[in-house]
Amino acid sequence: MRIRRDKRFVWPDRYYIWTYYPKSFRKSIDVVSKGKLYAKHYTYIPYFSRQHAKHVAVFYYGKKALHYVHVISGKRLIQEGITTFNTGRKKFRNACFIKGQVCYLRQWAYPPEYQHDKHRRRKYACYLNKTFEKGGRNAFNKRYWRLNYGSNYRRISATYRRMKYNKLAMAIWRELEYSDNT
């Protein structure tokens, strides 16, 4: 299954992260006009939903990232006249600016169960791609939330939490059974 699209083009069914350029980068703007006064930087990475984009930013850079990161739909970008991304400096393609620093984003924030090797990471991406193709954005959001529930912005494995809960439940059950027998 092919799970990547060409990142140079704006896709109307995807979402993109954008941030304002910090002051240190604004000096390079030649002409000051209303449109260029607060220049925006768009990342090339297409996300499936707003929830997906925000979760990735928070997963890698904490909740404070939401103060600096904005999400825009590809349809809106096309309405604004942006159909392709500028293939300029390569190091800023996957970057956004948080607190004036360059921060690099990825397309996926993998839960701990899928971080072990590339096969599990690909399985995770394929699974969510199929969900988006079959059920659309709402089905994707439900499935994405379910898979990332345990690592809800904290990187704690859902499998680990379930295992600990089962061990605790068994210990309580044994203790109750022991007290009934005596």
Q: Helical H runs in 68-117?
A: 74-79
CA angle 157, 162, 167 (to 5 degrees): 125
Residue with tokens 């089962």: 166
Give the pLDDT of residue 30. 59
Give the pLDDT of residue 71. 93
Give the pLDDT of residue 169. 86
CA angle 77, 78, 83 (to 5 degrees): 100
Structure tokens at 28: 């390079």
> How far is residue 115 from each of residues 21, 92, 124, 141, measured CA to CA in Å?
32, 25, 10, 20
Does the pTM surpass 0.85? The reply is no
68-109 residue pLDDT tens = 999 999 999 899 888 888 766 677 778 888 888 888 998 888
Under 8 Å between Cβ of 74 and 46: yes
- Asked if residue 162 has pLDDT above 80, the reply is no
Give the pLDDT of residue 168. 86
31-56 residue pLDDT tens = 656 655 667 888 888 999 999 999 88
Give the pLDDT of residue 35. 58
